Amino acid sequence: MRRLNRKKTLNLMKELDAFPKVPESYVETSASGGTVSLIAFTTIAFLTIMEFMVYRDTWMKYEYEVDKDFTSKLRINIDITVAMRCQYVGADVLDLAETMVASADGLIYEPVPFELTPQQKELQRMLQLIQNRLQEEHSLQDVIFKSAFKSASTALPPREDNSLQSPDACRIHGHLYVNKVAGNFHITVGKAIPHPRGHAHLAALVSHESYNFSHRIDHLSFGELIPGIINPLDGTEKIASDHNQMFQYFITVVPTKLHTYKISAETHQFSVTERERVINHAAGSHGVSGIFMKYDISSLMVTVTEEHMPFWQFLVRLCGIIGGIFSTTGILHGFGRFVAEIIFCRFRLGSYRSTSVPLPDGHTSNHLPLITDNSTH
């Protein structure tokens, strides 16, 4: 009884077989079929390798939403070198939400030579080349996001000891926290002194001949400091053509949440436009000499997430490649054989020309003569 049930089950399974087997004695092979099969297998192998490379790659997904965090502080990371002595310059932030100056106690004033060492010049030149490429190819920003990790750094290497160079510049570096509203970070002549109606700088004791706001921005970023991320102003160098010159940077800051396979952080991207002019009150160009960075906070927040192709999707695409190529090459091969048979059949029929056969009654027949065994001898 059990054997009978097994035979019925086996017969049922055989009837459900969607892949019937053809005996080898009925299979006909041809040179054209072998050639098409070789091309098909080569194409499948090539596309499979390409699909595997796509599977290994990742891409960045951008999502936008309204930034609802308006109570936290905004961190500004600064590393700027000005071609003036530290006792002559002062840096501070004027917050538009308050009339008083936001304290800049987190900044360090370090006397340094303005001229860079060869190693530092090489890194600055590399940063400038990357900045130029980023302006032309915006998709390179995704590569920077994916390659950023905490152990890397884009900061200038430490300066080599050189007693021949005297400190003729001031490196202002560090970080400070401000409210998440528009503000103005500026570096100008004299130290800042706050008072109830705003703020002022002690610039009367500094002669105009010592004004020189040539500067180099080694680093400027907003939010959490992420080494490896290149910001728009990193590597910027400006040389003043006049003592009384104003450099202005108008910055729009966008809160950004970055989630990659190497790092997860909350930072800020920003775009910037630049302007510089010489202060000449007689010619109508008013203002104060110095470096002014006016920033504004965007109301939108960007979430950047690194994504990867799921394994099931990779399998589906791979099956589609294999099955599609087999089906397509089979159809093309069958169509090619059909066309070839038609052409060859026409040539064969054209080789048998019609002949006239005399009949006993004197008439002629234009039909093709029958080929008999006797005619072949």
312 with 174, same domain? no
Of 247, 279, 297, which residue sits at a domain end? Answer: 297
Listed in sequence order, the DSSP H helices in the chain are 2-15, 31-56, 118-136, 140-147, 311-351
Give residue-wise pLDDT tens across range 76-126: 999 999 999 888 888 888 887 665 555 556 788 989 888 888 888 888 888
5 falls within a domain:
no
* Neighbouring-strand partners of residue 186: 92, 292
Report the chain's mean pLDDT, rounded to a whole number.
79
Mean pLDDT within 292-303: 91
47 with 96, same domain? no
91 with 148, same domain? yes
Query: What is the predicted pLDDT for the residue at 93?
Result: 86
State yes or no: pLDDT of 231 exceeds 90.
Answer: no
257 falls within a domain:
yes
Mean pLDDT within 276-299: 86
State yes or no: pLDDT of 53 exceeds 50.
Answer: yes
Contact 80, 184 (CB under 8 A): no
More confident residue, 195 or 301: 301
Number of structural domains found in the chain: 2
117 with 253, same domain? yes
Residues 6+ apart with CB under 8 A from 210: 84, 85, 88
92 falls within a domain:
yes
316 with 229, same domain? no
* Neighbouring-strand partners of residue 259: 264, 305
36 with 176, same domain? no
7 falls within a domain:
no
* Neighbouring-strand partners of residue 271: 252
150 with 286, same domain? yes
162 falls within a domain:
yes
Q: Quote the domain boundaries for residue 119.
A: 67-297
315 with 220, same domain? no
45 with 153, same domain? no
358 falls within a domain:
no
Query: What is the predicted pLDDT for the residue at 264?
Result: 83
The residue to which tokens 């400070």 are assigned:
176
114 falls within a domain:
yes
The string of DSSP codes covering 15-77 is: HT-SSPPPPGGG----HHHHHHHHHHHHHHHHHHHHHHHHHH-EEEEEEEEE----SSEEEEE
332 falls within a domain:
no
178 φ/ψ sector (left φ>0, alpha ψ -120 to 50, else beta)? beta
Share of the chain above pLDDT 90, in %: 14
Closest by CA to 274, choosing from 238, 306, 312, 224, is 238
47 with 100, same domain? no
In 3-state terms, what secondary structure has residue 190? coil
Contact 172, 82 (CB under 8 A): yes
Strands 264-278 and 169-179: unpaired
More confident residue, 348 or 182: 182
In 3-state terms, what secondary structure has residue 171? strand
Q: Write out the two tokens for 194.
A: 């706050």
